[in-house]
Structure 1
Amino acid sequence: MSELRKDSLSFVETLGQSVANVSPTLTPALAVAVVAGMAGTASWLVYIAATIALLIVGLNVGKLAKRIPAAGSFFVYVSRSLGPSYGLLSGWSMLAAYLFTAMALTIATSLFIKTLLTTLQIAAAPPSIIIYLAVSGLALWFAFRDIRLSSRVGLTLEAISVAIILIVSVSALAHVGFAPDVKQFSLEGADLGKSLQAIVFAIFSYVGFESAASLGKEARDPQRVIPKAIQWTALSAGLFFVFTTYVITQGFQDDATKLGASGAPLGDILAGQSAWIIALVYFGAAISSFACALASINAFGRTLFSLGRYQILHRSLGLAHQKHKTPHVAVTIGAVVNFVLVALLSGNSEVDTFGWYGTIASYGFIVVYFLVSIAAPVYLKKTGELTTRDTVIGAVGATLMALSLVGSLYPPPPYPYNLLPYGFLVYMLLGVAWFYVLKARAPHTLLGIENDLEEAAAAAGSPATAVAAE
């Protein structure tokens, strides 16, 4: 059976997977409108809180990544720490998280392309469904061929787009003489309850920062490189989000209602500037969101690959391409499902569907980040390495994720966001039901996970029980 290409990615290429999956440009170009519509002048503070929370989660992920390098990492991490039932739950949740992120970013790419064409006064924008097909098809081509190519393309596109946004942001500050925004620093008009709700969507700005961990068998020196890539991504993205959110909120004269209704926040604060400057910004945003969709499909594919290797899902999902050494079946399914699901709701406002898909993705990540924060100290206790510091970091990470989830439920958000948590719950219950089906029909599969038979099988050289999470 062919395997993924081992030890092939440098630190920069591994970093490229996480950075591309975060898509830093997405926040100032679009996502900030959703956060600011809830948090208003407290939006920059919401991003500080989210940065701290995810840096702590990143520490927990890093502890496991140092010890368990594997594709489909979170499924494997949680399985080895908390058992196969929680492992399956995390893997199921992560599939939704990466898929809905890809869907949200496919829609964002369409929005940015249309804004770009409108700015250039090109009226003949292609239909949304054609853009969705192009994004899904091109992402599949890159993901199918080579993870190194995907990572390099993603990091390069993100570097270009971030540089463009930073130049524009500094120019916007210069336009107001770098005068401080007193309303933001005093949190004038901010609502605490709505700000807590905004943290859930703010977390969506970072989701995927941990996806370098899905390259556990493809990165060189993964025990060192992966934790480093995760922390660098969370910190640098957080600083970028706080800065650009402050600039954009100031550009809207702290009008949260107006900013929350904007489908092109950067374009709106640049009104009156050269059309080519605005076009350059949204060109950067479009390539950034495509890079994130690609990275999400790569991460989705590796999670699905791992579930296939363990035979929790059909074993064909665990196949690697003979020539390209990529999980070609898994990434193909990811790209096809991505296109089908975004096409189904193509008649709705793209700003709305972006918010819906992004929120559902956030729930998936929050569940996994919660489980990993518990799994890290449990695993370290099993190996005899647990310290008080590890316990505290795990407890704080789990608590912050739990509070983020509670804050999204109470006070109840407006329709249809009030229904999304229950839709996600139904999805998770389907995963629980599948666990019990496996337990009844194939108990050896769960036992194999629990006892880490993938390592025993590799040592024994037995192909019949090869369940290595490569």
Structure 2
Amino acid sequence: MAKSEAGAQAPRTAEGQQGGANQVMARELGWYASFSVAFGFVSIATGIFTAYGSVLATSGPRGIWAWPISVIGQLCVALVFGALAARIPISGYSYQWVSRIVGPVWGWIMGWISFAFLGVVVVAVDYTIASTILPELFQYVGTTQNAWVITAGVVLLQALLVAASTRITHKVNSAAVTAQLIGMITLTALLFAVGYFTGKLDFAHLFDTATIPESGYYGLGGGTHAGPFALAFLLGAFTIVGFESAANLAEETKNPARVIPKAMVQAVLSLGVLGFLFLVAVTAAVGRVDGAAESATPVATVITAVLGSVVGKSLLVLVVVSIFSCGLVITLSGTRLVYAMSRDERFPGWRLLKRIHPRTATPLNATVFMMLIAQIVLAVFSRSTDALFQLFSAATLLPAVIYAGTVAMYAAKRSSLPPSRGFSLGRWEVPVLLLAGVWLVYELLIFRDASFRGPWAYVLVLCGIGAVYLAALLVRRGRAALTMPDMADVDRALDNATAPSAADTEGALR
């Protein structure tokens, strides 16, 4: 990576020098590619198919009304992240931002938590294919054993694609996102139309609590449990995450300071609207589809019951493609984070993980490493009878911690930040920060519920491992070895790298 493109990250050793063609990742991504990364990571198909059954069990059908509130909260977070991405368009997103604005130790902590999140969320996403969709699609009994084998194969295939070529990965993802947009819009429209004409829609069911008592439904809960409606927020909190993955590919994006914030915000808005319409259609049908509420795969059961076996299964194939692309983007984002931290010589095994393969022009070693981490996480969780719940809970807790830390950092340092080149919150900055802060505090409080002990254990173990490595790093090399360029240096160094040329502007609009 040339010095100007790397955000003035001065190499400290001969091994850390980034000169040479084999260290460059080309800027070749335009707006749609950036939007596809953000949209593909979030993937409403993934989130809803994974977590909808838990919402029915803990909150009843009425729980879907927590979705619009979650969308507003996550949109405020995306706006804050857009303001940061416009100032520091470098691979590594929160790790880079916090390192430069607060300090390298805090940045390292944020980077490690982000690594822990990406390691578990790719397994949660891929496990959804094996445990909720394929059994319905091919009519077989899903078990923890076959779910493990299938998920391991999907994780491996995604890693192979990411390692082979960034361009091919983005082509696959863009095609999958296009298929997801078309498929989810078609699926939602058909559920409304066919469900209405066949009498399988009951809109009164949208306000039903089913087996959940009305008393205390909206209550805050106690010291070790959250109220029924509060638990419903986890559907949106789990689904609408990862939009910041577009910022993790900033060094490969044309005119990133303008393109990336726009892509993130548009992804959250489009997913929020389409996701809610889909939830309304599915929930209106659940009450009139025999066994749907008790099904282990309620969304898939409703789709095949309302649309018929042939049409329903055809659309389920599109959902599998959508979820696969989500895992693909997560793998891509994880490798870029490991690469960015290794390039700065502060990740375990950085000498190997910072290398760009001369033929593929991808961080091959970092990709293999992320694949192995995902396989280990899968092995840890896969023997649990409620593995999917544990995985999606851990994959919701970790980004909430990342978002809260990053938003708090922005709020504390916003007066000292230099002007943005491509995106600014302007007079809306304070209201957006307040809404984002309130939302994130509320979301984190939900995880006091005793059902989240497993996810907390995962977080604590990973943080413990990270703390040991960080302590060893500081003892061996000292705090000075973690020095990062300050914001002024970053902005000066990025002047040429991010200034929109005519060619870049034209490419970013494609």
TM-score if structure 2 supplies the norm length?
0.80
Give the whole-Å Cα distance in 1 for the aligned partners of 2:342 and 2:488.
15
Q: Which residue of 2 aligns with 1:462?
A: none
Give the whole-Å Cα distance in 2 for the aligned partners of 1:373 and 1:265.
34
After superposition, residues 263-412 of structure 1 pair within 5 angstroms as: 263-271=297-305, 273-313=307-347, 314-315=349-350, 316-349=352-385, 352-383=386-417, 385=419, 389-409=428-448, 412=449
- With over 3 angstroms needed to count, the CA separation of the structure-2 counterparts of 1:162 and 1:380, relative to structure 1, is same
Q: Which moved more, 1:319-328 or 1:449-458?
A: 449-458
SS at the partner of 2:23? coil
- CA drift of 1:239 comes to 1.0
Q: Which residue of 2 aligns with 1:240?
A: 274
Q: Which digits, 9 at most, give the CA deviation of each residue in 1:395-432, with x for residues without a partner?
A: 331331121010221xx244xx3342244234324333
CA contact (8 A) 1:56 1:393 kept: yes
Given the alignment, which residue of 409, 418, 424 partners 2:453? Answer: 418
Given the alignment, which residue of 58, 74, 83 partners 2:94? Answer: 74
CA contact (8 A) 1:345 1:353 kept: yes
- With over 3 angstroms needed to count, the CA separation of the structure-2 counterparts of 1:269 and 1:285, relative to structure 1, is closer
CA contact (8 A) 1:369 1:398 kept: no
Q: Which digits, 9 at most, give the CA deviation of each residue in 1:349-381, with x for residues without a partner?
A: 4xx212211111111111111122123344432
Give the whole-Å Cα distance in 1 for the aligned partners of 2:234 and 2:272.
15
Give the whole-Å Cα distance in 2 for the aligned partners of 1:260 and 1:445.
57
In structure 2, runs of 5+ residues without a counterpart are 1-17, 219-226, 420-424, 495-510
CA contact (8 A) 1:15 1:229 kept: yes
- With over 3 angstroms needed to count, the CA separation of the structure-2 counterparts of 1:28 and 1:281, relative to structure 1, is farther
CA contact (8 A) 1:97 1:365 kept: yes
Give the whole-Å Cα distance in 2 for the aligned partners of 1:198 and 1:240.
18
Q: Which moved more, 1:173-182 or 1:96-105?
A: 173-182
Q: Which residue of 2 aligns with 1:145?
A: 164
Give the whole-Å Cα distance in 1 for the aligned partners of 2:77 and 2:471.
29
> Is 1:430 matched up with 2:465?
yes
In structure 1, runs of 5+ residues without a counterpart are 460-470
- With over 3 angstroms needed to count, the CA separation of the structure-2 counterparts of 1:201 and 1:271, relative to structure 1, is closer
State the AA in 1 paired with 2:206: Q
CA contact (8 A) 1:82 1:378 kept: no
Give the whole-Å Cα distance in 2 for the aligned partners of 1:268 and 1:405.
32
Q: Which residue of 1 aligns with 2:506?
A: none
- CA drift of 1:293 comes to 1.1
Give the whole-Å Cα distance in 2 for the aligned partners of 1:453 and 1:259.
56
- CA drift of 1:54 comes to 0.8
State the AA in 2 paired with 1:296: I
- With over 3 angstroms needed to count, the CA separation of the structure-2 counterparts of 1:206 and 1:446, relative to structure 1, is farther
> Is 1:159 matched up with 2:159?
no
SS at the partner of 1:135? helix
State the AA in 1 paired with 2:455: L
Q: Which moved more, 1:171-180 or 1:54-63?
A: 171-180
CA contact (8 A) 2:113 2:402 kept: yes
Aligned length, in residue pairs:
449
State the AA in 1 paired with 2:77: V
CA contact (8 A) 1:304 1:330 kept: yes
- CA drift of 1:384 comes to 5.2
CA contact (8 A) 2:117 2:395 kept: yes
Q: Which residue of 1 aligns with 2:254?
A: 220
- With over 3 angstroms needed to count, the CA separation of the structure-2 counterparts of 1:275 and 1:186, relative to structure 1, is closer
CA contact (8 A) 2:390 2:454 kept: no
Identity of aligned residues (%): 19
SS at the partner of 2:483? helix
Q: Which residue of 1 aligns with 2:503?
A: none
Q: Which residue of 1 aligns with 2:60?
A: 40
CA contact (8 A) 1:96 1:361 kept: no
- CA drift of 1:84 comes to 1.7
Q: Which residue of 1 aligns with 2:203?
A: 181
- With over 3 angstroms needed to count, the CA separation of the structure-2 counterparts of 1:197 and 1:14, relative to structure 1, is same
After superposition, residues 121-132 of structure 1 pair within 5 angstroms as: 127-132=146-151
> Is 1:443 matched up with 2:454?
no
- CA drift of 1:92 comes to 1.1
- CA drift of 1:310 comes to 1.4
Q: Which moved more, 1:391-400 or 1:102-111?
A: 391-400
Give the whole-Å Cα distance in 1 for the aligned partners of 2:461 and 2:380.
20
- CA drift of 1:78 comes to 1.2
State the AA in 1 paired with 2:410: A
State the AA in 1 paired with 2:37: Q
- With over 3 angstroms needed to count, the CA separation of the structure-2 counterparts of 1:90 and 1:259, relative to structure 1, is farther
- CA drift of 1:297 comes to 0.8
Give the whole-Å Cα distance in 2 for the aligned partners of 1:341 and 1:67.
34
Q: Which digits, 9 at most, give the CA deviation of each residue in 1:162-186, with x for residues without a partner?
A: 4333323323323235977134258
State the AA in 1 paired with 2:361: K
> Is 1:113 matched up with 2:134?
yes
SS at the partner of 2:90? coil
- With over 3 angstroms needed to count, the CA separation of the structure-2 counterparts of 1:333 and 1:264, relative to structure 1, is farther
Give the whole-Å Cα distance in 2 for the aligned partners of 1:453 and 1:11.
27
Give the whole-Å Cα distance in 2 for the aligned partners of 1:240 and 1:65.
25
- CA drift of 1:445 comes to 5.3
- With over 3 angstroms needed to count, the CA separation of the structure-2 counterparts of 1:92 and 1:5, relative to structure 1, is same
Give the whole-Å Cα distance in 2 for the aligned partners of 1:367 and 1:122.
36
After superposition, residues 189-204 of structure 1 pair within 5 angstroms as: 191-192=217-218, 193-204=227-238
